[in-house]
Structure 1
């Protein structure tokens, strides 16, 4: 895997050994020394050793244990300076630190890949809350600049895609974090611990941050629709799709034309996918949030019913009665407990069962004659206008008689059946699909269409001639 080509093999050995807590504190201080805002480019060896000694001076080192792979030397005493020397050698041996000679001085550097890894680990440990509004606002501004000037603002598109990936990753981690808090609180049965964990783990860690603005007037996702619209406009703009890959090459974001095209497509697809699916992720987060709130509400209701302070009030009243000379002088409370004890009338009276309905004989009503007549008329109408090759054959025999041929203008139409048969005379060849009667009709007659038209008061069609075939 390419990851292990950039990191030493024994890099995580100090963080997995018996003295890992000591090395965590040392690396945290060294990260500020190497990558802080006022850090020197290559601090001297003495400066690094001094930082390590200062960290170890605030810790108890009686439990320092030798580790596998650690350099052992008899000339290193078991003192604060000796432990600092051991820690420095261990970090240099595992690849966290590197030495360089600068004239007569020895300077120390932290490899860049190792420094980035340490920065990410420290960011995870600090668990800083992300501000949704700032991230979405920055992405929106970058997309606007890319749309206005794609040739000069190609780097803004790459940066917007990177921030969108981090933003999407943060939403995923937030959902997983809520799930972990939910499982931890659901496993807790003590109401007091449950409430304390709810406010410390859930309210302070998740809701006090920018998450609470998701459903306010200043909702950071109010730019979501505009971002999607602009990204899709860029994706389907010929000028932008031509200019952006060239700008990626010119600004060294990509090394080849093919890579530039792929990077532009990936960045635009990432932006569109993240903001198109953000509602689904927020819905999952809200489901976890609602579950936690229901769990805490049930705990509060349970605490209110069980009266946890009743036993203490009874104990104080009994102690006062034991010290008093006249017990009758003690003020008797009207009601010692807010909830009365159980009695024969405490259980809820069940609701008496309802009387089953009386059986009723079903009576068949006579059909409406008007409805029956209407249904019969509809059936007759559909039967009369239904195409039947036998009806067409009967119509031709009646109209033509013994004539060998007959033109369209010579046919007579006297009923609905005649009109249906006449309107299908030009389609005799299609009636072969209707079975044997259609094939017999085509064996007896054939149709030839003409070039003129027939226009009457009732219909208009092209002229045709029906010819009887010789048998």
Structure 2
């Protein structure tokens, strides 16, 4: 839950009239102490930093808040903050700034942005994880909304091609590629949002100077020279699109690669079981495909906004001189002279010839058409497209193949019970293997016998289940060497005559 990780009053810091000052101080504290260095500042260091920020931004303080006053910020035997004893310093202003600094520090503690930690007699200040993520987001906003994500398309292509070379070692690269593709989609949205914001600011400008400033500072410098230049050069949406789709098709058609990716996702604890891990694999592949299939509409909108803003800029510069009044000042004397000339001749001035007077057409086809009545929404049966039989067959075969690779403890028990008599003992070298299911069961049995402390949890569960009816002992003499595999030998002893039924297999 969001508010389970954050203080209930964490956003109230920015609800008052001093929100700009709090934002300025909080970002400075985060950048100096918690963003990149593993520093553990004391109370006096934090308050000293707030005091310095107040000196640089004293105009941001508003008197709406009543400062909290207390004699000493540090507790216990902490060292007081000493003011610099300068002859030119204003003692009253310094005391007032110190009271404000202590008030800001207490507000940061009360709203959950900072917390105090005691190590013996030493008290240090730390920032909670949730507040640290919010502070990082504030720093990103101050540094600019334009994200410099120029190499995302190249990263997605490299990660997908690495999977084709070695899917087992680079399996987690697919999950990162899905996150990079989503980041590229958000990047295109941020460019489009920046263009819309510039458009709104230009329309809201009340003077030519402000309009031109928005054009050149916001549109040209911040968007055209940064974001738009990136997506049209190094991160052009169509640069590696074909190769990305080819890599996705190859991964989806390879059952072996899907199985390897599923096992890697399960080992990385991205899912709790094999079906959930397989769903995450296909979901990551689908995320990448959806992003690069839908970039055409986003890029077309970006081009339309850019062209419209450039046209407005051209028209603004073209007609800027006509709005200044110089045109009216030049035309007024000329019109007065024409009026006097017309009165002196006593007739209407005109140009002789076959020219007809210009008339404006008033055709009904030029008028705006009335809006038609909306058709009512009628409920009915939605016709869904039929599934492709070949694709459904491939999915079913893939599921059956992955389910077959998942060997249960009941399968291993039935395999051993057929080869070891009740209360008897048999060498593993004498176990016959007829089918692939027998081979998978024997492989699971071999891993259970060789289990150690660093083996996976499912192997430990298999060992615990088998030891209820069997005991194992390693044998150095008779090694297993047949047409299926070669491994160290071991001996299996059956403790009872229990028989595992087919119905107990939960995987069937």
Describe the SS at the equivalent of 1:12. helix
Please tell me whether residue 107 in structure 1 is matched to residue 105 in structure 2.
Answer: no
1:81 is aligned to 98
* Offset, 1:241: 1.4
Which of 54, 76, 82 is matched with 1:56 structurally?
54
1:183 is aligned to 200
Larger CA Rg, structure 1 vs 2: 1
Please tell me whether residue 228 in structure 1 is matched to residue 245 in structure 2.
Answer: yes
Tell me the distance in 2 between the aligned counterparts of 1:181 and 1:154: 42
1:4 is aligned to 3
1:163-242 → structure 2 map (5 Å cutoff): 163-188=180-205, 190-212=207-229, 214-215=231-232, 219=236, 221-242=238-259
Gaps of 5+ in 1: 315-335, 354-471
Describe the SS at the equivalent of 2:239. helix
Q: 254-263 or 28-37: which moved more?
A: 254-263
* Offset, 1:278: 0.8
Tell me the distance in 1 between the aligned counterparts of 2:234 and 2:114: 50
* Offset, 1:10: 0.4
Q: Does the 8 A contact of 1:30 with 1:48 survive in 2?
A: yes
Q: Does the 8 A contact of 2:146 with 2:191 survive in 1?
A: no
2:22 is aligned to 23
Which of 241, 251, 254 is matched with 2:268 structurally?
251
* Offset, 1:142: 1.6
The structure-2 alpha-carbon separation of the partners of 1:5 and 1:145, relative to structure 1 and needing over 3 Å to count, comes to same
Q: 92-101 or 124-133: which moved more?
A: 124-133
The structure-2 alpha-carbon separation of the partners of 1:271 and 1:47, relative to structure 1 and needing over 3 Å to count, comes to same
Q: Does the 8 A contact of 1:92 with 1:98 survive in 2?
A: yes
Which of 276, 281, 285 is matched with 2:293 structurally?
276
Tell me the distance in 2 between the aligned counterparts of 1:47 and 1:74: 17
1:266 is aligned to 283
* Offset, 1:297: 2.2
Q: Does the 8 A contact of 2:171 with 2:264 survive in 1?
A: yes
Tell me the distance in 1 between the aligned counterparts of 2:17 and 2:193: 30
Please tell me whether residue 92 in structure 1 is matched to residue 91 in structure 2.
Answer: no
* Offset, 1:61: 6.4
1:14 is aligned to 13
Tell me the distance in 1 between the aligned counterparts of 2:231 and 2:271: 36
Gaps of 5+ in 2: 73-91, 339-348, 361-508
Could you tell me the TM-score, scaled by structure 1's length? 0.61
Deviations 1:96-142 (A, max 9, x none): 11111122211111111211121112212321533453121122212
Describe the SS at the equivalent of 2:8. coil
Tell me the distance in 2 between the aligned counterparts of 1:158 and 1:84: 46
2:305 is aligned to 288
Describe the SS at the equivalent of 1:107. strand
Q: Does the 8 A contact of 1:185 with 1:198 survive in 2?
A: yes
Describe the SS at the equivalent of 1:101. strand
1:121 is aligned to 138
Describe the SS at the equivalent of 1:106. strand
Tell me the distance in 1 between the aligned counterparts of 2:44 and 2:178: 43
Tell me the distance in 1 between the aligned counterparts of 2:100 and 2:358: 79
Q: 159-168 or 207-216: which moved more?
A: 207-216
Q: Does the 8 A contact of 1:186 with 1:295 survive in 2?
A: no
2:77 is aligned to none
Tell me the distance in 1 between the aligned counterparts of 2:234 and 2:266: 41
Tell me the distance in 2 between the aligned counterparts of 1:173 and 1:213: 13
Q: Does the 8 A contact of 2:154 with 2:235 survive in 1?
A: no
